Amino acid sequence: MTDAAWIDAALTSARPQAVGALLRYFRDLDTAEEAFQNACLRALKSWRENGPPRDPAAWLIMVGRNAGIDEVRRRRKQEALPEDDQALSDLDDAEDEVAERLDGSHYRDDILRLLFICCHPELPPTQQIALALRIVSGLTVKQIARAFLVSEAAMEQRITRAKARVTEANVPFEAPGAVERGQRLASVAAMIYLIFNEGYSASGDTADIRKPLCEEAIRLSRLLLRLFPAEPEMMGLMALLLLQHARAAARFDAEGSLVLLDDQDRSLWNKTMIAEGIALIDKAMRHRASGPYQVQAAIAALHCRAEKPEETDWRQIDLLYGALERMQPSPVITLNRAVAVSKVRGPEAALEMIEPLEARLSNYFHFFGVRGALLMQLGRNAEARTAFDRAIALANTSAEAAHIRMHLDRLMRDAASGK
Amino acid sequence: MLYAILCYHDEDFVGSWSKEQDAAVMAKLAVVQEKLTKQARLGPVARLLPTTAATTLRKENPPVVLDGPYAETKEQLLGFYIVDCKNLDEAVDVARDLGAANPGGAYEIRPIGLFAPGGAVK
């Protein structure tokens, strides 16, 4: 491993803690980011000459803080700020070496705050994700734009707007209380899940480009779990992401079409990720405090544990979806449960289960995909075709549409051969 | 004399390796291991899963189970066990039994990701 690669990795992994501390210090996102950038530039030079410091994050915070103070001073001279400027008196206190305030409890809340300001409820999900990737993960605007398949200019604008909004939101800088901390943690977990899904729901032709989003979400969830090691839902989230991502290499075929779970080459699944995911669920379960991420992870684990599709424990999956329905009732969860029900009790029972959902899922691609598949299993081919046509009309990606078209082709072939 | 060689590194850094980079490092290590195996000098080799998957049993009275790795530095690593367990509960039970036999200190329980039994050393 070259020095450059080491320095790069160290800067990336120190970033959340360093930017979080600098933000607490300067109370301004742009100043904190600039200070961090400055510190990184100096690190590139100094670390290469003198070797890496023992604690890269502390080094970056110290150097970033000094760089930030110089910058604010320079600006003050140029702009002649009013005498009673608040930031200034803060800075004078801060110059005291003792004011380093780098103890463990602080840095936990620093990172959580940094993540939390990205999930302001007024920000639409796409802006939350973009902001988190920019500020917390430190991806360049160009990298984020590429992952979102939009132009760099459009992404720049999206991030600038999001930043303006969170500045107005004024997230408090005091350490949060236990309840507040729990709420922040839940919002941040939801945002990390969004980042993951943004990568996971990519179609075959863009899966490689968007894969870094999944990896970044896993990195962030690992960071969060390390800060809050006793939170079973954080273990559940991390397990869920690992178990889903473990199947990434098998999810698309050479042409980029989606390969369903049943048809995937299971030897391509990442065994280490699966082992880690299962270990985390095991750990979470000892807390006897179930939650949606844990249940979803447990479902994913049952799929991963089966070496062949027919070994899947559908009965247990059905039960787990039942538990998930009770925790967060949603027609989408019922729809997923119906797939398990079709394996346990047959397509007829599953169809009966999803019929009442139509009104609420009338614009949902998967609803018509599942209904079509169930009707096809029952030999009700004409109805199946109608459902599949509707699914294609609602498909979000070309891979989804292609997958349904495959079913349709089969129906046509069967019809032609008089089956 | 048998020696244990304990591996330390920054897990974020190692975790950031791509599958190919990781495989390349493992292949290089395999060459060294193979040489030792041929000389009948290699015992078990294990690669642990990340510390986020760790659980710690503090051998107090009564013992306390904590999530996360063992983080204190005032105690030193004195030895280790490799035990086959159905799940974490079983592993914690084993650690409790060991702890009852030898109180004080702590056990960190880490799932193993890769294991080569290496029967070469008798």
Boundaries of every domain in chain A: 1-95, 107-170+178-228
* pLDDT value, residue A92: 45
**Of A10, A225, A279, Cβ closest to residue B49:** A279
Nearest-angstrom CA–CA distance, B43 and B49: 20
Residue B6 CA: distances (Å) to CA of A29, B52, B78, B114, B118 = 42, 19, 11, 15, 16
**Of B16, B49, B92, Cβ closest to residue A276:** B49
Nearest-angstrom CA–CA distance, A208 and A215: 11
- Considering the domain boundaries, does residue B3 fall inside one? no
Contact B88 A279 (CB under 8 A): yes
Contact B113 A272 (CB under 8 A): yes
Contact A283 B113 (CB under 8 A): no
Mean pLDDT of B19-26: 90
Closest to A35 (Cα-Cα) out of A4, A7, A60: A60
A260 neighbors A243 (Cβ within 8 angstroms): no
- Other beta carbons less than 10 A from residue A280's beta carbon: 31
**Of B15, B16, B53, Cβ closest to residue A280:** B53
Chain B CB contacts of A286 below 8 Å: 55, 65, 88-89, 92
**Of A226, A276, A286, Cβ closest to residue B113:** A276
Contact A283 B89 (CB under 8 A): no
Nearest-angstrom CA–CA distance, A292 and A186: 11
Question: Could you tell me which chain A residue has the CA closest to the CA of B14?
Answer: A9
Buried b (16+ CB within 10 A) or exposed e, A345-356: eebeebbebbee
**Of B52, B88, B114, Cβ closest to residue A226:** B52
Which of these ranges, A195-209, B33-47, B90-104, has the smallest mean pLDDT?
Answer: A195-209
Nearest-angstrom CA–CA distance, A353 and A337: 9
Helices marked H in A136-253: 141-148, 152-169, 178-200, 207-227, 232-245
A199 neighbors A252 (Cβ within 8 angstroms): no
* pLDDT value, residue B122: 66
Residue A101 CA: distances (Å) to CA of A25, A75, A96, B68, B93 = 9, 25, 10, 24, 40
* pLDDT value, residue A97: 42
Contact A230 B111 (CB under 8 A): no
Contact A275 B51 (CB under 8 A): no
* Helices A365-377/A381-394 angle, 10° precision: 160
- Considering the domain boundaries, does residue B1 fall inside one? no
Chain A CB contacts of B51 below 8 Å: 226
Q: What is the pLDDT of residues A260-302, one digit of tens each?
A: 888 999 999 999 999 999 999 999 999 999 999 999 999 999 9
* pLDDT value, residue A418: 59
B65 neighbors A229 (Cβ within 8 angstroms): no
Domain carrying residue B47: 11-116
Closest to A373 (Cα-Cα) out of A398, A413, A345, A342: A342
* Helices A365-377/A398-416 angle, 10° precision: 20
**Of A225, A270, A279, Cβ closest to residue B111:** A279
ipTM: 0.89
* pLDDT value, residue A80: 59
Contact A230 B66 (CB under 8 A): yes
Q: What is the CATH number of the domain that holds B62?
A: 3.30.70
Q: Does A154 touch chain B (CB under 8 A)?
A: no
Q: Does A279 touch chain B (CB under 8 A)?
A: yes
Nearest Cα of chain A lies from the Cα of B4 at a distance, in angstroms, of 24
* pLDDT value, residue B82: 96
* pLDDT value, residue A177: 85
* pLDDT value, residue A88: 46
Chain B CB contacts of A12 below 8 Å: 16
* pLDDT value, residue A72: 81
What total number of domains does chain B contain? 1
Give mean pLDDT in consecutive 10-residue pieces for chain A, a chain of 419 residues.
75 90 89 94 91 88 91 77 49 43 67 88 86 91 87 93 86 82 90 90 77 90 92 97 95 85 94 95 95 97 95 96 95 95 96 94 92 94 94 84 85 73
Closest to A229 (Cα-Cα) out of B21, B2, B50: B50
Nearest Cα of chain B lies from the Cα of A336 at a distance, in angstroms, of 28
* pLDDT value, residue A104: 53
Which tokens is A290 given?
Answer: 């179930």
Q: Which of A272, A285, A287 is the mutation pick for testing B, counting most B CBs within 10 A?
A: A272
* pLDDT value, residue A273: 94
Nearest Cα of chain B lies from the Cα of A419 at a distance, in angstroms, of 46
Nearest Cα of chain A lies from the Cα of B1 at a distance, in angstroms, of 33
Quote the pTM value: 0.87
**Of B13, B55, B114, Cβ closest to residue A13:** B13
Q: Does A282 touch chain B (CB under 8 A)?
A: yes
Mean pLDDT of chain B: 92
Contact A13 B50 (CB under 8 A): no
Number of H helices, E strands in chain A: 19, 0
- Other beta carbons less than 10 A from residue A144's beta carbon: 24
| B108 phi/psi in degrees, rounded to 5 | -100, 130
